[in-house]
Structure 1
Amino acid sequence: MTALKLDDFLPYRLSIASNAVSDAVASAYRALFGLKIPEWRLVTILAEGGAMSQQALCGRTRMDKVTVSRAAIALSERGLISRASNPGDQRSHLLTLSKAGWELYEEVAPKAIELERRVFADFTREERLQLRQMLDRIEAAVEALEDRP
């Protein structure tokens, strides 16, 4: 039997790297804007995609229903998102950014881009492109596994 060594196990290493980046981002967003990572993700997805149901946000962010619901409630309480009836499904609501949500997004987005620049400053343009391509392939491979019976 082959022994599992976590430092050589790519899913573990990917998780550790992801957590390290998320922790750095979370610290900055919490300190500057009082946002948790799930809240920032919802703000960004709504800015990019417009009105969405919580179910659509779950699919887009790969966060579970409880996390998305808590983030949506927190953003709603701060007046950063609005809820409206979903004409396509009366059991759900569509979430959109409010004016205050858009103002927050426009303030946070440049800081997110700057943080990304700093994290990847020692990577060449080609390396960043390769990393994006590898991440796309990893996500596709996981989706293919999920689709199998």
Structure 2
Amino acid sequence: MTIRLKKQVIDILRVLKKKDSEVLARDLIDEMKIDYIVLMSAVNDLIAHDLGGFKEAELNQISLTEEGKDYLKKGLLERQLLNFLLEEKIKEISIEEFQKRINLDKKIFYIGISNLKKNRWIAQSKATGEEK
């Protein structure tokens, strides 16, 4: 009996034969620079001829978003706010003045302030001149 396989299926089979252990689909996709659908189609062809197979496993991965990469470079928002206060030797400042001087987007600034309060790293008072 002759088995007819597409060229891509044969190429994938050759790469798989060189591997010592199981291979993750994403690693094979990266190595061969092919699409996931192409790989799975080839794997299904190999299964049909009892030449290969696969196991499905759910992998949960995380990766940095652009915002995350920005925080990696500049530091977390809370750290940026605290560093500003430390560098400027500020013990007390109005929220409005702080927001103007640090030059952050208003929404981002208030998220940072909210996190600082929630973590009890800053305290807000109505009186001035009081050291916290």
- TM-score, normalising length: structure 1: 0.34
Write 1 or 2 for the structure with the bigger share of helix: 1
Write 1 or 2 for the structure with the bigger share of strand: 1
- TM-score, normalising length: structure 2: 0.38
Structure number with larger C-alpha Rg = 2
